Amino acid sequence: MKKLLEILSEEMGKAFEAAGYDAALGRVTISNRPDLCEYQCNGAMAGAKQYKKAPIMIANAVAEQLADTAVFSQVTAVAPGFLNLKLSDTFLSEYVKQMSREEKFGLESPEHPKTIVIDYGGPNVAKPLHVGHLRSAVIGEAVKRMERFAGHKVIGDVHLGDWGLQMGLIITELQERKPELPYFDESFTGEYPKEAPFTLSELEEIYPTASGKSKVDEEFKAKALQATADLQQGKRGYRAIWKHIMDISIADLKKNYENLKVDFDLWYGESDSQKYIPEMVEKMKRDGYAYVSNGALVVDVAREDDKKEIPPCMILKSDGAAMYDTTDLATILQRTIDFQPDSIIYVVDKRQELHFEQVFRCARKTGQAAENTELKFLGFGTMNGKDGKPFKTREGGVMRLSSLISQITDQMYEKISGNEALGAEEAKTTAAQVALAALKYGDLSNQASKDYVFDIDKFISFEGDTGPYILYTIVRIKSILNKYREQGGEISMDALTTPSNDSEKDLYMQLAQFNSMLEAACEELAPHKVCAYIYDLANAFNRFYHETRILTEEDASKKAGWIALLALTKDILECCIDLLGFSAPEKM
């Protein structure tokens, strides 16, 4: 279905043409003087020079052509040559009615759907999920859902950090604690135990201890580095420990992501790229790209026109261990082989921008990515506390994601447990549901690249630009629709009439923006545009609602029309929050 502005511009273009001017001048935009008009066209101003005529003459001539238009209810040429426009109510309501019948509310599917891999989440195995990983999960999930809805084939990959030094650190620490384990016995050839030699909570203690040690104890650090290299080269006992670490951590990660309503198609990790590394490295050497510098194997990626220094990509350390650059390059190769993607999108902290710049350049230079594969870095800003510094616990430590979520959920529960319509059980699940919306909306409503302040009190408020406000609006509509049904009413989109006052028309206009808004949001990978839209839509609805007595309306067809308008508003709001990765309860 065509976008509203396209139709308006076409109509205007025809009028320019009929008046003897270039149709391209008929571009219509949203009014920047909403007090005067809804839309405007500045084509007469633009055409004045070309046609050597006063703009107002052109504007008048064009307006004349639109005397009988079905699209506009008002076309006014005003000095010095603007065309101020208002939409015809009938045209608008027909457009919205059409939208309600269309699949995806009139958003057109792409002619050539793309295959897109989204790399997001990026948790590090054996380290607890912390708030730093929250943004990646929340933004990545929204982008994935949006692109999928748009009609692309989207593959979400969690890309676990499971191949780096943290593994060597854990192995080394474990060896110091339990040297008698068979994993450390070089002569052991039997089967290793099925049961892991540690629990999740032990594991969560082992890593920070080992990491702390490595910072003060050179020998320990050297051992850990060696263990990392040995693991990567396939040492049997270490692989077996690694497998235990993976099993335990992944089970826990899955639970955490499930609570966040974040869902990955692939649970691959850095380690899965290992099998592509030897061959990739050989080829880089053969092709003359990789060379040894200070003992390490590197590929230059600097360009003459660089404004800042771009260091070489590190392919292998002197001990042969793979680096962060290496696994990312091999993963690009892996994805190229598996999916031939049109695009790979990385949703990662923007402080890693340089790393990705190096990797992308190296991937292009050495041919890990196909030429027509777009490599895109969607870098996000830091989540700060109210003090403007990166978010911490009250004690100043790194905040665990699970504690953060339970904190918001508890506060939300306090807020809604007073609602007597909710039973005790329902209050709990509702609190969790609304808390998730508060958390995700609080994040997603900011442009991803910007830092933002994590302010629980603000995020959980039922008023203002918040997730709970959006949910509250949906719940309000649901309750009206339920009452209507109880009165014996049936909901049908065919009942949509034409707007009878300004607030109703405004609601229609908001609804009609859906396809163009979503197209732009998908194009720009910008969930914040969806948030801004539903906030405007919720406001438009609430204004209309406060001015209109819907259920007591005597005129049945008027009432049915309003009900249809509400139902469509609810459907679109729910569609949008689903794209953002949360849902609305029945009551709250």
- Could you list the residues that contact ligand ARG (CB under 6 A)? 119, 122, 124, 159, 161, 328, 346, 348
Q: Which is nearer to ligand ARG, 290 or 329 (CB)?
A: 329
**Pick from 334, 219, 315: which is nearest to 272 by CA?**
334
Return the structure tokens found at 62. Answer: 């064009």
Give yes or no for a contact between 74 and 86, defined as CB atoms under 8 angstroms apart: yes
Backbone angles phi, psi at 63, to 5 degrees: -60, -40
In angstroms, the CA 207 to CA 219 distance is 17
Could you tell me the CA-to-CA distances from 480 to 542, 549, 568, 570 in Å, in that order? 13, 11, 13, 11
Nearest CB to ligand ARG, comparing residues 159 and 559: 159
Tell whether omega for the bond before 80 is within 30 degrees of 0, i.e. cis. Answer: yes
Smallest separation, CB 442 to ligand ARG (Å): 22
Q: Which helix (H) or strand (E) holds 83?
A: strand 82-87
Contact between residue 367 and residue 396 where contact means Cβ atoms under 8 Å apart: no
Q: Are 344 and 332 in contact (CB under 8 A)?
A: yes
Nearest-approach distance from CB 124 to ligand ARG, in angstroms:
5
The residue (of 230 and 270) whose beta carbon lies closer to ligand ARG is 270
CB nearer to ligand ARG: pick between 81 and 161: 161
Minimum Å gap between C-beta 213 and ligand ARG is 21
Q: Which of residues 129 and 241 has its CB atom nearest to ligand ARG in the complex?
A: 129
Residue 377's φ and ψ, nearest 5 degrees, are -100, 110
Q: Which two tokens stand for residue 505?
A: 């028309």
Is the alpha carbon torsion for 317, 319, 324, 327 positive or negative?
positive
Find the shortest distance in angstroms from Cβ 167 to ligand ARG: 13
Q: Pick the closer one to ligand ARG by CB: 97 or 361.
A: 361
Residues 6+ apart with CB under 8 A from 126: 166, 167, 170, 203, 204, 206, 207, 245, 249
- Which lies closer to ligand ARG via its Cβ, residue 25 or residue 118? 118
Nearer to ligand ARG, 159 or 505 (CB): 159
Q: Cβ of residue 333: shortest distance to ligand ARG, in angstroms?
A: 13
| 445 CB burial (10 A radius; 0-12, 13-18, 19+) | buried
- Spatial strand order in the sheet of 296-299: 290-293, 296-299, 313-316
Shortest reach from residue 331's CB to ligand ARG, in Å: 6
Written in H, E and C, the secondary structure of 442-510 is HHHCCCCCCCEECCHHHHCCCCCCCHHHHHHHHHHHHHHHHHHHHCCCCCCHHHCCCCCCHHHHHHHHH
Shortest Cβ contact with ligand ARG: which residue? Answer: 122
Residue with Cβ nearer ligand ARG (93 or 331):
331
Whichever of 45 and 398 has its CB closer to ligand ARG, that residue is: 398
Amino acid at the residue 268: Y
Shortest separation between residue 346's beta carbon and ligand ARG, angstroms: 6
- Classify burial at 582, counting beta carbons within 10 Å of its beta carbon; exposed 0-12, middle 13-18, buried 19 or more: buried
User: Considering beta carbons, is residue 43 or 122 the nearer one to ligand ARG?
Assistant: 122
Query: Please, is 426 exposed, middle or buried when counting C-beta atoms within 10 Å of its C-beta (0-12, 13-18, 19+)?
Result: middle
